[in-house]
Amino acid sequence: MLIVNANTPEHAHIALRTDGEHIVALAPDLAPEPGEIVFDAAGGAVLPGLHDHHLHLLAYAAAIGSVHCGPPQVDCAQALAGVLAERAADSEGWIRGIGYHESVAGDIDRCWLDRVLPGRPVRIQHRSGQLWIFNSLGLQCLGVDEAGGGDPFERVDGVPTGRLYGADPWVRERLGASMPALGEASRRLARLGITGVTDASPGNGLAEFRHFAAEREAGRLQQSVLMMGSEALDPAWTVPGLSVGATKIHLREAELPPFDVLCERIECSHRAGRPVAVHCVTLVEIMLAVNALQAAGVQAGDRLEHAALACVEAVDLVREAGLHVVTQPNFIFERGDVYLASLPGDALEGLYRAGSFVAAGVAVGAGSDAPYGDPDPWRAIAAALDRRTRAGRVLGAAERLAPDTVLDLYCSDPLRPGGARRRLEAGGVADLCVLDRPLVQLFADAAAVDVQLTVARGRIIHSA
């Protein structure tokens, strides 16, 4: 294929030829060869294919057919009851909701759901991804013993509340649910210019690896995947387009592991040849993660996921430790107005930092956290540039990224998020996307970008 009339970060006017999985030539003027597909970029920018450094593919695929139960689609209890009733009227079986937040109707439980929809099994996921809320019929379908126990549900005075924390594998086993096909999720990502993803689900093991490999083999999963997960993925395996990455460690401030236990887990991962990726949102979690990594010994590829509430001192510690940070600038846009209404001023100053980390010399990559965040990388790039919420208010102006660094969020190597930007060059892998506008216009309104063409390892996976 030949792409003409394009520009890149390195070239104002360029043509680019691919053959098989590789770029074979770049020059201002390349003539079409017989039988060659020619794509006219019409002055649009050509960038390396974007890599989402943190999402959850299986949850994202399942979310596509689920009911949105939180902002901005749903903003009050009446609206939530309405969308659940609407889904019940035109479907059968389980009703699966996603994206719930307390700002809609408070800390809902089985009793609240029973009042709204008693006749159908319902389960609603909190937008954090760490909590499911079931109604009574849903508990019955799971075989939960009201008077007994032996299940992971939260109980008050011995009675299950319908609230279940961090137990997705248990739910999947009880439901007998197969893992979802990934074709539609992959197509949606391709339309955004995404040619690679890092799946950051901590429970990933052999079954998930085999499922991803099968979806790749069948052609449904078109992005390359770096797969985080549990120790069940030791030693790290690789098949074409799919490789095992870091051991994912999920910290929760309400239930932190002993320091020596955390250090030992990090050391075990390193001995197995795998770095670690530590989920840490609060300042306490960040400080514990950094100190444990320093005590255990930092290895190339070790990283912090989210680092959402980092003070200035924490930024310095992360820099000294030599860690990468993968953040979510999209949450400034998506959740910023709720943050402004609910968090104290000192917390707002350190919320989803980017500029401070980059200025300190910390490599910063971006991931959407889909389905718990919007997978659109262009909306996230816009938020990294202007730090504006959905209502247009500025949150953390000092954390804005400059245009010359913002593309590093998504165009860096999967193993080194936020590191050196991948370049389009002869001999390189043909992972790229063509935009509807030149590079100089991209930063003025990044959220409006439309991807015209996405190529993954030389294959067209999206064409407008």
The DSSP H or E segment spanning 53 is: strand 50-55
- pLDDT above 80 (res 149): no
Query: Tell me, what amino acid is at 180?
Result: P
Query: Tell me, what amino acid is at 269?
Result: S
286: closest CA among 229, 247, 327?
327
- pLDDT above 90 (res 6): yes
- pLDDT above 80 (res 72): yes
By percentage, how much of the chain surpasses pLDDT 90?
91
Give the pair of three-digit tokens for residue 39: 């794509």
Residue 195, classed as helix, strand or coil, is strand
* Helical ranges in 29-167 per DSSP H: 57-63, 77-89, 102-105, 110-116, 136-141
Q: What pLDDT does residue 91 have? A: 87
d(CA 415, CA 360): 20
Q: Can the peptide bond before residue 9 be classed as cis, meaning omega within 30 degrees of 0? A: no
CB 462 within 8 A of CB 62: no
d(CA 48, CA 456): 10
For residue range 345-385, list pLDDT tens digits in order: 888 989 999 999 999 999 999 999 999 999 999 999 999 99
Quick one: pLDDT band at residue 169, thresholds 50, 70, 90? confident
CB 288 within 8 A of CB 256: yes
Average pLDDT, the chain: 95
For residue range 412-433, list pLDDT tens digits in order: 999 999 999 999 999 999 999 9
Angle at 26 between CA 23 and CA 32, to 5 degrees: 90
By percentage, how much of the chain surpasses pLDDT 70?
100
d(CA 226, CA 244): 6
Handedness of CA 350, 368, 286, 257 (dihedral sign): positive
Q: What pLDDT does residue 148 have? A: 76
Contacts of 238 (CB under 8 A, 6+ apart): 244
- Return the residue matching tokens 């078109």: 222
Quick one: pLDDT band at residue 38, thresholds 50, 70, 90? very high
Q: What pLDDT does residue 15 have? A: 97
Contacts of 314 (CB under 8 A, 6+ apart): 283, 286, 287, 290, 307, 350
Contacts of 218 (CB under 8 A, 6+ apart): none
Dmax (CA) of the chain:
77
Give the pair of three-digit tokens for residue 387: 């730090």
Q: What pLDDT does residue 227 have? A: 98
Strands 242-250 and 276-280 come out as parallel
Count of Cβ atoms closer than 10 Å to residue 403 Cβ: 15
For residue range 206-222, list pLDDT tens digits in order: 999 999 999 999 999 99
Q: What pLDDT does residue 243 have? A: 97
Q: What pLDDT does residue 146 have? A: 84
Where would I find the beta strands (DSSP E) of 377-443? 432-435
Count of Cβ atoms closer than 10 Å to residue 93 Cβ: 8
Where would I find the beta strands (DSSP E) of 210-314? 224-229, 238-239, 242-250, 276-280, 303-306
Residue 26 exposed, middle or buried by CB count within 10 Å (0-12, 13-18, 19+): buried
Strands 324-327 and 364-366 come out as parallel
